[in-house]
Each structure stands twice: as structure tokens, then as C-alpha cells.
Amino acid sequence: MNLSFDMEIIANLAIPKNKFLNKKTSEIINESNDYDLKKMLNKIENEFEEVLVYIGNEYNKQVIKTYQDLKKVLATKFSNQRIRNFDFSIREFILMTYFSNPEVLKSLPIPISKDEISKKLEHIESRYQIKDIINSKNL
């Protein structure tokens, strides 16, 4: 996938570089070759072209350090409904692309076995209820 400068800005603001994987979100997304995700990106680029151009222009003029800062900048130019639609589409695309990357999934500190989950749950007050749920699902 080949993200535009505007989309790279958005992706990196939406999910900042994490301590478990030393890559920018835009780099991770660019690694994807998934056909459906590419279609999703093309749809966003076509449907929100003026928003993306505005982001690219404003990013060079203003200090935009977070995704919330970006939304505030958009609020000066676009309607709330337009921003909500854009936000929903962007979040869906970024989350799907980011978490479909095997490298991202492997880097997350998520316990994967039933025993590891049970050990983690020992520190939770309602551990007995949760353990019963886990046991009933045959994990």
C-alpha cells in the first residue's frame, strides 16, 4: 500500500509509535497488500479528498501533535457531520490495517494460553466468575 503524505500524518497521529514495535503506524500500513484494505483507502481518498488536502496544508502551518488536535483543526473548516464521517472511516481503516499486521499482533503483550490468562486473572477480584466463563468456552 502507498499512503499519501496526508494519510501518513493521520495514521501516525491516530496510533502513535508504541514501545513494543519500533515502527510508525504509517510504515505498518504501507506494508499491507490486502486488496479490501486498498479499496477502503481509495474510497476514503475519493470521498474525503478536500479534508485530506486541508490536513496536508494545515499540518505544515500549525502544530498538530495529537489526533484530537487534528480534529480541532478540522472543526474550523468542516461540519460536525463531515468530521464524524471522516473520523469513522479513518478509524475503521487504520484499526483494521494496523491490527491485521502479524508483526503488530506478535509484538503485543497479550497472554495466549489458557494458563497464562488464568495467572493474570488471579489479581482481579471477580476472578472466579471470569475463570468460570473461560472454562465454559473451552479455550
In the chain, where are the structural domains located? 5-108, 110-139
Distance CA 90, CA 84 (A): 10
Is the confidence at residue 130, as pLDDT, over 90?
A: no
Q: What is the DSSP letter of 3?
A: -
* CB of 32 closer than 8 Å to CB of 1: yes
Q: What is the pLDDT of residue 61?
A: 87
| pLDDT for the residue 127 | 44
Q: For residue 98, how far is the Cα from the chain centroid? A: 6
- Average of per-residue pLDDT across 121-125: 58
Rounded Cα gap, residues 130 and 113, in angstroms: 15
Q: Mean of the pLDDT values across residues 89-116?
A: 84
Percentage of residues of the chain with pLDDT beyond 90: 57
Measured between its terminal Cα atoms, the distance across the chain in Å is 35
